[in-house]
Amino acid sequence: ALNLATDRKGIAKSVSEGLDSAATGITPAGLALTSTGGDFAKAAAKATAYAYNIKKAKKLFAEGMKEAGLKKLTLTIEGSSDSTVTKSTLDTLQQSWSELPGLTVKEKLVPFKQRLLDQEN
């Protein structure tokens, strides 16, 4: 549900003022090839068929909350305070994800080294 509620085009627009395209996965274009020689990033994007769909995200999130017996959930997304694009990225994620029923999203900005330690812990 969070993936479907992530407006990647909105993030790309707010972070790069429309100069960059939206991410289609975690693998950058041109990083690796498939067994047939194609771009792995393009093949993975096609296979996952991601599409921003807030309506479907709300439905799935509500089902998950019900299944878990929850009425409210708070998530904290952490980002690097020493990056110029982190705040706008987190703001866009917070805005999109907060549309999900019962979800509160908080932001936590810390120095990059602290973020790495937090991830490790």
**H or E segment to which residue 107 belongs:** strand 103-110
Tell me the residue range of the domain where 31 lies. Answer: 8-120
The answer to whether position 94 is within a domain reads: yes
Q: What is the DSSP letter of 75?
A: E
pLDDT number for residue 51? 81
pLDDT at 18: 66
Here the CATH number for the domain that contains residue 77 is 3.10.105.10
Strands 103-110 and 73-80 turn out to be parallel
46 part of a folded domain? yes
3 in a domain, yes or no? no
What integer pLDDT is reported at residue 68 of this predicted model? 97
pLDDT values of the chain reduced to their tens digit, one per residue, 121 residues:
998 998 888 888 877 776 677 777 777 788 889 999 999 888 887 777 678 899 999 999 999 999 999 999 999 999 999 988 888 889 989 999 999 999 999 999 999 999 999 989 9
Q: What pLDDT, on a 0 to 100 scale, did the predictor assign at position 92?
A: 87
CA angle 13, 62, 97 (to 5 degrees): 20
In a domain, 1, yes or no: no
| Helix residue ranges, H only, 2-111 | 8-16, 40-48, 54-68, 86-97
Task: Give domain status of residue 90, yes or no.
Answer: yes
Would the pTM of this model clear 0.75, i.e. be above it? no
**Number of domains, the chain:** 1
Q: Does some domain include residue 50?
A: yes
φ, ψ dihedrals at 77, nearest 5° = -105, 130
Tell me what pLDDT residue 101 has: 95
pLDDT of 41 reads 84
Q: Is residue 39 part of a domain?
A: yes
- Angstrom distance (rounded) from CA 25 to CA 21: 12
The answer to whether residue 2 sits within a structural domain is no
Residue 12: strand, helix, or coil: helix
* Residue 70 DSSP symbol: -
